[in-house]
Chains A and B, each alone.
Chain A
Amino acid sequence: MSTQEQLLERDSFIERSARSRARALLDPGSMRELLDPFCGIASPWLPQQGVTAQADDGVVVAKGLFDGQSTVVLAIEGAYQGGSMGEVGGAKIAGALELAAEDNRHGIPTRAVILFETGGVRLQEANLGLAAIADIQAAIVDLRRYQPVIGISAGTVGCYGGMSIAAGLCSYLVVTREARLGLNGPAVIEQEAGLAEFNSRDKPFIWSLTGGEQRYHSHLVDAYVEDDTSQIRSTLADLFQRGLPARHRSAQVDGFLARLAEVDAKVQAAPETVRSIYSKGFSA
């Protein structure tokens, strides 16, 4: 097959909607969407601000099976309001994770996959978005005591703000070349710290520091995949097979502190330096 044919054959994950991504990951025919758009639970805060409230608030809760085991996929729709977390969408993710943890306490080994396409808090619902993200973080930490919680950021929105912290709590993270993972969005850093610190229009610069490939080579994520649905699915299967990590990345405090001690904070960060320091790993 020529490269062109391969491209045409490839089943892009990025081009799928959140709902279609969730369906493609779960075992065929097993998906049931909970709180679907017909339940009529939309944002109570957007209409009064002149913003259209989408009937699913941009989050799909897809319950079903993955390799025959009870799994919930929480897919954020990056195309709606930048994948931002409002009260309803945030509660859907947190609530589903809470139920998955409860399942495990009752002997049902439900697992979770989160598809992070999000700019973080929806500023139109500011404090309720932030509170929901705290709930999501709490629920990830609860659930990951029993089962791996796997995050995928495929692109092209990326994963930012409080949700990047949530991603950092996951047992495993999967990214593509199109993904970006960082706390502060480029425009916010530029606003807060100036153009010399961070140029939000310089795309190659942004990807070189926070793009999927860089994050993979800096050991801040666990798998780097093509934008290919079947590859993403098989990567997910491998990671679930691996079971819980010996120590979650967010708990590797000594290792991260040791690596940070090697950073020369007087010079501006360069992608190669980050790779060479962080590739030593974080297990103290």
Chain B
Amino acid sequence: MSALDHKSRGAAWLAALTANAATAPSYPASVRVVDAPLAGHNARYIAVVPDPLNRFARARTGEVGLAEGWQLAQAVQEVMLLDRDVAVKRPIVAIIDVASQAYGRLEEAYGIHQALAGAAGAYAEARLAGHPVIGLIVGKAMSGAFLAHGYQANRLIALDDPQVMVHAMGKASAARITLRSVEALEALAVTVPPMAYDIRNYASLGLLWQILDVAQPDQPSSHDIALVEQSLQAALADIRLDAERGLASRLGAPNRQASQRVRELLRQQWAEEREGQGS
């Protein structure tokens, strides 16, 4: 482990959960891919980590940039190809600690949206193909970076810790775009659960499968590792038993009622429309 790894929770948890197994060689330093067991069978673990030498300057502190997006896609496509002809597909564990997507001119110019679509699309295709995909949030899960790395998972698990955050945009930018002060934004977040940055409020939206209380989120103890491994194994078993390959298991929380209601009404009107068309 390098000195920098101590600052990267993604790197720390990747190493911990894979017993420091070697990373797959063909990936850049910012995308770590490790093949290691989960519940006794092969699994692929993927993390995005800081790389101070990243050739794209705006993706040096753990952001998901152009290269990271396409390399994540590569890491996922690779296992889909490997398991193409087997019935039981190996699990993919996305270890999520991504502060943001990369913000820069070069990134926009070369279509970072498309690179992130590459990653999100690959994860979604893997899930639909029957690979159990588990997202483990150990640090920040922000915006486009989270959409590209982890949000397409069958199940999401998060550490219950103040440094674990999920949001659509950093506070300063969110304030600028909504024409509010950072203080006003924070005040609103107290009463409007989807606007909050903390993981407890996020959990109230029903998007997490489990939230885990670990003692040392920065440098996991053996007890912490065992707890998270247990949760990953339970998630894997839960996915294997579930015929659903979509994201429906995330619906149903009181703070996400409208998402459910919209779908119920749509389904009803969709059927009525079909009868109306006579087709």
- Give me the interface of A with B, judged by CB distance under 8 Å: 30, 32, 34-35, 39, 41, 43-45, 48-49, 61, 63-65, 70, 87-88, 90-92, 95-96, 98-99, 108, 119-121, 123-135, 137-139, 141-142, 145, 161-162, 164-169, 181-185, 187-189, 191-193, 197-198, 209-210, 215, 218, 220, 248-254, 256-257, 260, 263, 265, 268-271, 274, 278
Contact = CB atoms under 8 A, between A and B. Distances in A.
Contacts of A268: 105-106
Interface in B136-150: 143-144, 146-148
A128 B270 contact: no
A66 to B, nearest CB: 12
A127 B168 contact: yes
A141 B114 CA distance: 14
A39 B127 CA distance: 34
Interface residues of B, number: 85
A250 B121 contact: yes
A209 B109 contact: yes
A134 B147 contact: yes
Nearest to A41: B262
> What is the interface of chain B mostly: helix, strand, loop, or mixed?
helix
Contacts of B266: 34-35, 61, 92, 95-96, 99
Contact of B106 (A39, A124, A126, A269): A269
A58 B279 CA distance: 29
B124 A274 contact: no
Contacts, number: 284
A142 B191 CA distance: 35
B173 to A, nearest CB: 5
B122 A99 contact: no
A251 B192 contact: no
A233 to B, nearest CB: 20
Interface in B159-194: 166-170, 172-174, 176-178, 188, 191-194
Which of B66, B103, B177, B258 has most A Cβ within 10 Å? B258
A45 B194 contact: yes
Nearest to B115: A256
Interface stretch (B11-19, B34-42, B70-78): B70-78
Which of B56, B128, B168 has most A Cβ within 10 Å? B168
Contact of B270 (A99, A198, A257): A99
Interface of B: 55-58, 66-67, 70-71, 73-74, 77, 100-101, 103-118, 120-122, 124-125, 127-128, 143-144, 146-148, 151-152, 166-170, 172-174, 176-178, 188, 191-196, 201-202, 205, 207, 246-247, 250, 256-259, 261-263, 265-267, 269-270, 273-274, 276-277, 279
Given A41-B265, A162-B144, A210-B109, 13 more contacts: A44-B258, A49-B188, A95-B262, A132-B259, A133-B147, A182-B108, A187-B177, A197-B104, A198-B108, A251-B121, A265-B57, A269-B108, A278-B110
Which of A43, A44, A251 has most B Cβ within 10 Å? A251
A87 B147 contact: no
Nearest to B193: A127
A123 B178 contact: yes
> What is the interface of chain A mostly: helix, strand, loop, or mixed?
helix
Contact of B143 (A32, A91, A130): A130
A119 B169 CA distance: 12
Contacts of A218: 111
A65 B277 CA distance: 9
Given A127-B195, A193-B58, A220-B111, A141 B262 contact: no
Given A61-B266, A197-B104, A263 B118 contact: no
Contacts of A164: 113
The 7 nearest A-B residue pairs measured at CB: A168-B117, A269-B109, A164-B113, A250-B121, A141-B124, A91-B262, A121-B168
